[in-house]
């Protein structure tokens, strides 16, 4: 056992490494020893975390101090003065619409580790003019986005349900919530209103009452009776006209000719007439030698069965007929919105001779998502801005890509028994123990990131050289006598233990990098070249060089059970989305105790370049709801001039996984974000994986420090009023010390 003096010396050395002087540490150490009855363990635990926390607290430094902004952070979308960064910034969103702190401001990273002043701030012109304006704008747009109903479905009792699931049943009961189109509540999802008896439905043959979470517009479209459709189909069958267009007289039309080469669907088309009719057609490839025209009824029944099997659960009264009705509604809505950026057709009608052969961006997305998204391996290249499903050598590991859908077309169904709708290996339930009429805002659950065609992160197996993997390995790399090449990134030792946990020392280092980034930043790139030269490029303030885990992947010889493949195997712990009591909206928790270093989930979203982000957020339709942006930074390994498109962001607003529900906690969050490389070498694109930074109790909320600086009051508006409850809460201190309403997000570099 080391002596007291030796232990004190070690503690002071550890603190020195983090930038504390002996002078400031010594009195804190003495107080802690007194507090813990001369017990050193709580002080030495987790790399002297308690000591570091207490020393920080003791500093009681002025607002604007550096600490606490971690590399993962969420982003103010208006920001286009991009500086490569390794932080993530959260922007106030649906959950805090009433707080009038909608627009975030981003502060530049510091140049000096000891400079705690707000040395740089974002161009005020990039910000919304006032928090109130921002708030109103956000409110308006979110209202628009939530015009459509959202269903939170009753969980289906199943024989294999565990105790937690039973609990969920008891808590959720027959869930029935109603979204209103006006937002309310500072902390909850937007647009909520109490259930309305009039909108209660009894679910067809299952007899379960389900209330809709929202108002529904009456449809002005129509769906023809099945008989009539059948006749039409038969007529088409008889028709000798093999022209692939289904054009009505005096029409304009759009088509989507490339429903992936693997799919049977050759293309979909949409055409409208001046008579106010819209016709959509789907052309399929069949083998004529065997084919006999089926009844549409039989086809619909089969599709319904398939949907049910694929998506595990569907609204009780789901039918292809109603789906077609929905499509008609969407056609009308999109077609009527002439300002929508995704509506690329000209307003002039032609007489049919001038058919627009280019796919109609959103029309295509609307009529072919099933063929388009679910059939892997295809490329949809004909629309320049489309999203590509990259071919992958590794089904498990790679990111998915899909067309971008406007928020107004978000999935309107949440399954309370599993919000992932079967995408994850484990069910992720949703509970609201406070009985309020709320359910999470609509989004598409995706297990993997979606990557745009333009995105600089070129994710393809061909780009990975053999030297980036361990082709000669077999079985489990962790059992090999000598660590393979995949351990090179982590200093020749795998980051994971045989139990699948990140090594404690590795976690501590990552946590320390996040906690004291100014002590670790050591990479400076050349000035950033902006795509639009509205302002002179500013000098790079350096980026945090972060610890990275490199996992084995499909070019490696090992198998999927290899101990160096944790993140790519997906979520393994039992998680639950729950409504927080403190007013933070929805949060995430684990149903079981988790040891330190356990993988919880990845932060999944659409991978965007800063240019794409700017394009997206400058669109009226996308302005609001950007609560879920994460800044991945630019390539911190590159010494070249970084372009805007080399800076990457994850946007989980429309597509995301359960990571989007993780709330912020200042300093002592129980999760830490670690970059994990799977399919790309280098430090540009990576998976942002969240691991426990300490032991987490069952049902304890999982939190992550977004790296928000709540002290920047130069810019009004900002993130949200922090309700994290941490003893070290930066937001609370700010309120206590200054009592000002403005908050901001700090950009880390």
Ligand X SMILES: C[S@@+](CC[C@H](N)C(=O)[O-])C[C@H]1O[C@@H](n2cnc3c(N)ncnc32)[C@H](O)[C@@H]1O
H/E stretch holding 673: strand 671-677
Any contact of residue 663 with ligand X (CB under 6 A)? yes
Q: Which is nearer to ligand X, 74 or 495 (CB)?
A: 74
- The C-alpha atoms of residue 678 and residue 689 are separated, in whole angstroms, by 11
Closest CA to 344 of 363, 329, 321: 363
Any contact of residue 709 with ligand X (CB under 6 A)? no
Q: Which of residues 165-194 bind ligand X (CB under 6 A)?
A: 189
Any contact of residue 542 with ligand X (CB under 6 A)? no
Minimum distance from residue 488 beta carbon to ligand X (Å): 34
Any contact of residue 92 with ligand X (CB under 6 A)? yes
Minimum distance from residue 103 beta carbon to ligand X (Å): 12
Minimum distance from residue 586 beta carbon to ligand X (Å): 3
Closest CA to 50 of 11, 90, 8: 11
Kindly write down the DSSP assignment for every residue of 171-211, as one continuous string.
Answer: HHSS-B-EE-SS---SSS-SSEE---GGGEEE-TTT--EEE
Q: Which of 73, 584, 622, 730 binds ligand X (CB under 6 A)?
A: 584
From 116-124, 354-362, 532-540, 585-593, span contacting ligand X (CB under 6 A): 585-593
- The C-alpha atoms of residue 484 and residue 5 are separated, in whole angstroms, by 41
Any contact of residue 664 with ligand X (CB under 6 A)? yes
Q: Which of residues 401-460 bind ligand X (CB under 6 A)?
A: none
Minimum distance from residue 240 beta carbon to ligand X (Å): 55
From 32-40, 579-587, 638-646, 674-682, span contacting ligand X (CB under 6 A): 579-587
- The C-alpha atoms of residue 340 and residue 365 are separated, in whole angstroms, by 14
Q: Which of 14, 32, 95, 213 binds ligand X (CB under 6 A)?
A: 95
From 58-66, 78-86, 400-408, 657-665, span contacting ligand X (CB under 6 A): 657-665
Determine the angle formed by the axes of helices 41-59 and 504-515, rounding to 10 degrees. Answer: 10
> Phi first, then psi: what are they for 413, rounded to 5°?
-120, 130
Closest CA to 517 of 22, 119, 113: 113
Any contact of residue 585 with ligand X (CB under 6 A)? yes
- The C-alpha atoms of residue 518 and residue 506 are separated, in whole angstroms, by 19
Minimum distance from residue 74 beta carbon to ligand X (Å): 6
Cα dihedral across residues 133, 136, 142, 145: positive or negative: negative
Q: Which of 371, 513, 566, 724 binds ligand X (CB under 6 A)?
A: 724
Q: Which of residues 363-402 bind ligand X (CB under 6 A)?
A: none
Minimum distance from residue 721 beta carbon to ligand X (Å): 6
Query: Do residues 505 and 483 lie in contact, with contact meaning Cβ atoms separated by under 8 Å?
Result: no
Q: Which is nearer to ligand X, 252 or 414 (CB)?
A: 414
From 421-429, 463-471, 674-682, 721-729, span contacting ligand X (CB under 6 A): 721-729
Q: Which of residues 238-267 bind ligand X (CB under 6 A)?
A: none
As a residue count, the chain comes to 749
Minimum distance from residue 500 beta carbon to ligand X (Å): 26
- The C-alpha atoms of residue 130 and residue 102 are separated, in whole angstroms, by 9
What is the longest distance spanned by two Cα atoms in the chain? 95
Minimum distance from residue 183 beta carbon to ligand X (Å): 12
Q: Which of residues 278-307 bind ligand X (CB under 6 A)?
A: none
Write out the two tokens for 647.
């800076």
From 87-95, 120-128, 540-548, 614-622, span contacting ligand X (CB under 6 A): 87-95
Any contact of residue 90 with ligand X (CB under 6 A)? yes
Q: Which is nearer to ligand X, 511 or 578 (CB)?
A: 578
What is the CB-side half-sphere exposure of residue 309 using CA atoms within 13 A?
6
Q: Which is nearer to ligand X, 134 or 562 (CB)?
A: 134
Tell me the per-residue interface mask from 614 to 643 with ligand X, x by CB under 6 A, - otherwise: -------------xx---------------
Q: Which is nearer to ligand X, 35 or 132 (CB)?
A: 132
What is the CB-side half-sphere exposure of residue 678 using CA atoms within 13 A?
25
Q: Rg (Cα) of the chain, in Å, rounded? A: 27
H/E stretch holding 278: strand 278-284
Any contact of residue 586 with ligand X (CB under 6 A)? yes
From 30-38, 63-71, 235-243, 661-669, span contacting ligand X (CB under 6 A): 661-669
From 88-96, 336-344, 401-409, 467-475, span contacting ligand X (CB under 6 A): 88-96
Using CB under 6 A, count the residues that bind ligand X.
20
Any contact of residue 566 with ligand X (CB under 6 A)? no
Minimum distance from residue 730 beta carbon to ligand X (Å): 10
Q: Which is nearer to ligand X, 83 or 663 (CB)?
A: 663
Residue 488 buriedness (CB in 10 A; 0-12 / 13-18 / 19+): middle
Any contact of residue 602 with ligand X (CB under 6 A)? no
Write out the two tokens for 615.
């394009």
From 162-170, 290-298, 581-589, 687-695, span contacting ligand X (CB under 6 A): 581-589
Minimum distance from residue 424 beta carbon to ligand X (Å): 18
Q: Which of 46, 78, 79, 96 binds ligand X (CB under 6 A)?
A: 96
From 39-47, 474-482, 582-590, 672-680, span contacting ligand X (CB under 6 A): 582-590
- The C-alpha atoms of residue 100 and residue 105 are separated, in whole angstroms, by 14
Minimum distance from residue 189 beta carbon to ligand X (Å): 6
Residue nearest to ligand X (CB): 585
From 385-393, 417-425, 459-467, 722-730, span contacting ligand X (CB under 6 A): 722-730
Q: How far is CA 305 from CA 168, 193, 294, in A?
A: 27, 33, 16
Any contact of residue 720 with ligand X (CB under 6 A)? yes
Minimum distance from residue 136 beta carbon to ligand X (Å): 17
Any contact of residue 104 with ligand X (CB under 6 A)? no
- The C-alpha atoms of residue 693 and residue 599 are separated, in whole angstroms, by 10
Query: Do residues 515 and 67 lie in contact, with contact meaning Cβ atoms separated by under 8 Å?
Result: yes
Q: How far is CA 442 from CA 185, 189, 374, 402, 652, in A?
A: 17, 10, 20, 17, 11
From 92-100, 126-134, 530-538, 608-616, span contacting ligand X (CB under 6 A): 92-100
Minimum distance from residue 656 beta carbon to ligand X (Å): 9
- The C-alpha atoms of residue 658 and residue 600 are separated, in whole angstroms, by 10
Any contact of residue 660 with ligand X (CB under 6 A)? yes
The alpha carbon of 653 is separated from its chain's Cα centroid by a whole number of angstroms, namely 6
Query: Do residues 90 and 706 lie in contact, with contact meaning Cβ atoms separated by under 8 Å?
Result: yes
Any contact of residue 109 with ligand X (CB under 6 A)? no
3-state secondary structure of 158: coil
| Strand-pair partners of 586 | 579
Write out the two tokens for 69.
């902004």
3-state secondary structure of 115: coil
> Phi first, then psi: what are they for 74, rounded to 5°?
-105, 160
Neighbours of 728 (CB within 10 A): 17
DSSP character for 265? E
Query: Do residues 283 and 385 lie in contact, with contact meaning Cβ atoms separated by under 8 Å?
Result: no
Write out the two tokens for 561.
């059970």
Q: Which is nearer to ligand X, 649 or 661 (CB)?
A: 661
Any contact of residue 722 with ligand X (CB under 6 A)? yes
Minimum distance from residue 579 beta carbon to ligand X (Å): 8
| Strand-pair partners of 672 | 691
From 265-273, 356-364, 522-530, 717-725, span contacting ligand X (CB under 6 A): 717-725
Q: Which residues make up the interface to ligand X (CB under 6 A)?
A: 90, 92-93, 95-96, 189, 584-587, 627-628, 660-661, 663-664, 720, 722-724
């Amino acid at each position: 056992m080391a002596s007291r003096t030796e232990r004190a010396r070690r503690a002071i050395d550890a603190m020195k490494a983090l930038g504390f002087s002996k002078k400031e540490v010594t009195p804190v150490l003495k107080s802690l020893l007194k507090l813990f009855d001369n017990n050193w363990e709580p002080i030495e635990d987790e790399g002297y975390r308690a000591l570091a926390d207490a020393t920080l607290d003791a500093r009681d430094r002025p607002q604007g101090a550096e600490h606490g902004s971690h590399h993962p952070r969420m982003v103010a979308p208006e920001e286009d003065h991009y500086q490569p960064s390794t932080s993530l910034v959260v922007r106030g969103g649906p959950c805090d619409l009433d707080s009038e702190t909608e627009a975030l401001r981003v502060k530049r990273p510091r140049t000096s580790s000891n400079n705690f002043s707000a040395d740089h701030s974002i161009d005020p012109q990039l910000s919304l003019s006032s928090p109130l304006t921002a708030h109103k704008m956000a409110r308006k747009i979110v209202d628009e986005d939530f015009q459509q109903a959202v269903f939170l479905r009753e969980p289906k009792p199943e024989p294999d349900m565990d105790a937690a699931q039973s609990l969920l049943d008891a808590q959720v009961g027959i869930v029935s919530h109603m979204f209103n189109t006006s937002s309310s509540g500072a902390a909850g999802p937007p647009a909520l209103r109490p259930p309305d008896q009039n909108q209660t439905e009894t679910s067809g043959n299952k007899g379960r009452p389900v209330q809709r979470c929202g108002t529904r517009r009456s449809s002005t479209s129509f769906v023809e009776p099945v008989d009539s459709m059948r006749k039409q189909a038969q007529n088409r069958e008889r028709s000798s006209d093999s022209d692939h267009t289904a054009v009505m007289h005096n029409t304009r039309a759009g088509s989507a000719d490339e429903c992936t080469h693997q799919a049977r669907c050759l293309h979909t088309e949409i055409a409208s007439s001046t008579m106010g009719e819209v016709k959509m057609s789907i052309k399929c490839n069949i083998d004529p030698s065997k084919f006999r025209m089926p009844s549409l009824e039989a086809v619909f029944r089969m599709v319904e069965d398939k949907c049910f099997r694929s998506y595990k659960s569907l609204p009780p009264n789901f039918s292809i007929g109603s789906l077609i009705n929905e499509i008609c509604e969407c056609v009308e809505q999109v077609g009527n919105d002439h300002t929508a950026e995704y509506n690329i057709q000209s307003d002039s009608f032609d007489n049919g001779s001038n058919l627009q052969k280019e796919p109609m961006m959103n029309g295509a997305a609307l009529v072919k998502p099933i063929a388009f998204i679910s059939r892997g391996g295809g490329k949809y290249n004909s629309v320049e801005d489309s999203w590509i499903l990259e071919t992958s050598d590794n089904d498990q590991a790679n990111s998915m890509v899909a067309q971008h859908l406007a928020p107004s077309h978000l999935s309107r169904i949440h399954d309370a028994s599993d919000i992932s709708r079967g995408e994850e290996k484990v069910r992720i339930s949703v509970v609201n123990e406070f009985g309020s009429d709320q359910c999470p805002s609509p989004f598409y659950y995706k297990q993997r990131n979606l990557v745009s065609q333009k995105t600089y992160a070129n994710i393809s197996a061909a780009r990975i050289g053999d030297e980036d993997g361990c082709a000669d390995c077999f079985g489990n790399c962790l059992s090999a006598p000598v660590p393979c090449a995949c351990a090179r990134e982590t200093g020749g030792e795998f980051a994971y233990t045989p139990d699948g946990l990140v090594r404690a020392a590795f976690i501590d280092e990552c946590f320390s990098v996040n906690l004291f980034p100014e002590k670790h930043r050591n990479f400076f790139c050349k000035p950033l070249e902006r795509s639009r030269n509205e302002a002179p490029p500013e000098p790079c303030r350096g980026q945090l060089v972060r610890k990275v885990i490199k996992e084995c992947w499909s070019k490696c010889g090992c198998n999927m059970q290899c101990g160096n493949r944790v993140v790519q195997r997906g979520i393994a712990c039992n998680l639950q989305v729950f409504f927080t009591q403190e007013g933070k909206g929805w949060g995430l928790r684990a149903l079981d105790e988790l040891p330190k270093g356990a993988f919880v989930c990845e932060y999944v979203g659409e991978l965007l370049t800063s240019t794409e982000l700017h394009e997206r957020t400058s669109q009226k339709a996308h302005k609001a709801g950007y609560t879920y942006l994460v800044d991945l930074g630019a390539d911190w390994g590159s010494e070249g001039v970084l372009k805007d498109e080399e800076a990457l962001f994850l946007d989980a607003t429309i597509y995301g996984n359960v990571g989007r529900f993780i709330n912020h906690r200042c300093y002592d969050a129980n999760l830490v974000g670690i970059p994990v490389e799977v399919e790309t070498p280098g430090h540009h694109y990576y998976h942002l994986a969240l691991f426990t930074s300490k032991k987490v109790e069952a049902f304890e909320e999982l939190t992550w420090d977004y790296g928000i600086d709540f002290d920047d009051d130069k810019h009004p508006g900002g993130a949200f009023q922090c309700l994290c409850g941490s003893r070290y809460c930066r937001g609370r201190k700010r309120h206590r010390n200054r009592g000002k309403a403005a908050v901001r997000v700090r950009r880390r570099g």
